[in-house]
Amino acid sequence: MKRHRCPDHYRVLSAALLLCMAAPLSQAQEGPGGALLEGFAPLEVHGFGELRGGYRTQNDRAAKDVSVMESRLQLEVSTFNDWADFKYKGDVWADGVTEQGHYDARETWVFARPTDFMDIKVGRQVLTWGTGELVFLNDLFPKDWQSFFIGRDMEYLKAPSDAAKVSFFSDLANVDVVYTPQFDSDRYITGEYVSYWDAARQRHAGSDARVHSDRPDQWFRDDEIALRLYRNINNYEWALYGYWGFWKKPAGQAPSGAAAFPDLHVYGASVRGQVGPGIGNAEVAYHQSADDESGRDPAVDNSEMRYLIGYTQEVGRDLTAGLQYYVEQMLNYGPYRQHLSGRWARDRYRHVITLQLTQLLMSQNLELSLSSYYSPSDEDAYLRPSVNYKWTDNLTLEAGANIFLGDHPHTFFGQFEDNTNVYTAVRYSF
């Protein structure tokens, strides 16, 4: 979490100063232009200011009533010259949950097309691939589940990577290689914003029992490589994936008792394209828990197979519906059961059905949407209804909820039941 949280007020202040300095710089385009900006396109400066507040709808002994409360400024500065594109995007916000100021650089990168067959993007960047809608099999780039569950904008589901992405293009196939020199974990549930089931203590926990982790952080040794080989054949998008790194959220225990990130290798494939009147997608991934392939080590999570099949179709005017079926299969279930020592056990198969509905109304200025996950095996569910209205081209109003339902305190979504929240936000974009 060290990159995410930055309680050091000086760093927050200096970042804010930097952001403020960028604004007058953009005026430079009008004037004669300094030598510094010679050969560069005029700086483009954009961003938004946002107020967002949300409350838990029930009492959570392990967390505050406030689920999200923040005033946020995002600033984005971009330009380009003959050989490259440059972009910076950063957020500063005052956070009522942590009662601190925060700064997060979301993008700081240089992009170049040195040859006809190659693209390079180096720096902090947001990365996504794979075919799942809010379900990730081969996309091992960092996610921010905390932001997602407390009702921040969808943009924040993706946490940035500090990485180099090199892409090669040919008629035969295209290749993306992403090298992350220092492991970027998910911004997983730690108890800070969202309370959770603490399996070690067998109880519901929150900010009173924050997850302490032993995260691999050696530069160039604790690194990650992600690979995608893809090709478009008659607009059917085929892809093969590989990943060599670590489980993105704690998936084991270090001897010290801290949560650990064991080695993970992932191999997978996907296809997406037109099927009948809609878009079909299928994806599969083998998550090889490389520190313990036998599954006998109770301190390391099982290897898994993950399967996804989905279909999206326009079912009415400006109304889109998407249905997905997703399965996680534990591959060494026997040894896993043996080592549980009386603790609650996961099922061998976790089945999840997702349904997405999006309706646009009032000249597409009003969006009603519902994302829902339902697991018949875990007997739990997660619903995300939201309403988004563009009052003007600049001003957007939003309200929504994150509803967790479950019969058991320890299932994937059920453990978050007390975090069920409603939120509202107003954003001014410029």
Residue 364 touches other proteins, criterion: CB under 8 A: yes
Q: State the number of binding residues for other proteins (CB under 8 A).
A: 48
Under 8 Å between Cβ of 122 and 164: yes
Interatomic CA distance for residues 350 and 67, integer angstroms: 28
- Alpha-carbon 330 to chain mean position: 23
Instruction: Quote the least distance from Cβ 317 to other proteins, whole Å.
Output: 6
Residue 369 touches other proteins, criterion: CB under 8 A: no
Of residues 144-173, those binding other proteins (CB under 8 A): 154-155, 157-158, 167, 169
Q: Which stretch binds other proteins (CB under 8 A): 19-27, 122-130, 252-260, 416-424?
A: 122-130
Tokens for 422, please give them: 């409603």
DSSP class per residue in 213-282: EE----TTTS-EEEEEEEEEETTEEEEEEEEEEE-SS--BB-TTSSEE--EEEEEEEEEEEEETTEEEEE
Under 8 Å between Cβ of 192 and 207: yes
Closer to other proteins at the Cβ: 122 or 290? 122
Instruction: Quote the least distance from Cβ 364 to other proteins, whole Å.
Output: 4
Instruction: Quote the least distance from Cβ 252 to other proteins, whole Å.
Output: 29
Give 116: exposed, middle or buried? Use CB within 10 Å, 0-12, 13-18, 19+.
exposed
Instruction: Quote the least distance from Cβ 167 to other proteins, whole Å.
Output: 7
User: Which of residues 40, 55, 86, 111 is near other proteins by CB under 8 A?
Assistant: 111
Residue 255 touches other proteins, criterion: CB under 8 A: no
Residue 121 touches other proteins, criterion: CB under 8 A: yes
Q: Which stretch binds other proteins (CB under 8 A): 25-33, 92-100, 209-217, 308-316?
A: 308-316
Closer to other proteins at the Cβ: 92 or 251? 92
Residue 46 touches other proteins, criterion: CB under 8 A: yes
Interatomic CA distance for residues 323 and 311, integer angstroms: 5
CB contact burial 30-42 (16+ within 10 A = b; e otherwise): eeeeeeebeebee
What is residue 150's three-state secondary structure? helix
Residue 132 touches other proteins, criterion: CB under 8 A: no
Interatomic CA distance for residues 417 and 414, integer angstroms: 5
Residue 392 touches other proteins, criterion: CB under 8 A: yes
Residue 396 touches other proteins, criterion: CB under 8 A: yes
Q: Which stretch binds other proteins (CB under 8 A): 241-249, 297-305, 363-371, 401-409?
A: 363-371
Give 275: exposed, middle or buried? Use CB within 10 Å, 0-12, 13-18, 19+.
middle
Residue 429 touches other proteins, criterion: CB under 8 A: yes
| Cα-based angle 163, 168, 169 (whole degrees, multiple of 5) | 145
Residue 430 touches other proteins, criterion: CB under 8 A: yes
Q: Which stretch binds other proteins (CB under 8 A): 94-102, 232-240, 250-258, 289-297?
A: 232-240
User: Which of residues 95, 119, 293, 379 is near other proteins by CB under 8 A?
Assistant: 119
Q: Are strands 100-115 and 259-260 parallel, antiparallel or unpaired?
A: unpaired
Q: Which stretch binds other proteins (CB under 8 A): 8-16, 19-27, 316-324, 404-412?
A: 316-324
CA-wise closest residue to 288 among 300, 306, 304 = 304
**Binding stretches for other proteins (CB under 8 A):** 46, 48, 80, 85, 111, 113, 119, 121, 125-129, 154-155, 157-158, 167, 169, 174, 230, 232, 235, 237, 272-274, 277-279, 281, 312-314, 317-318, 320, 322, 363-365, 390, 392-394, 396, 429-430
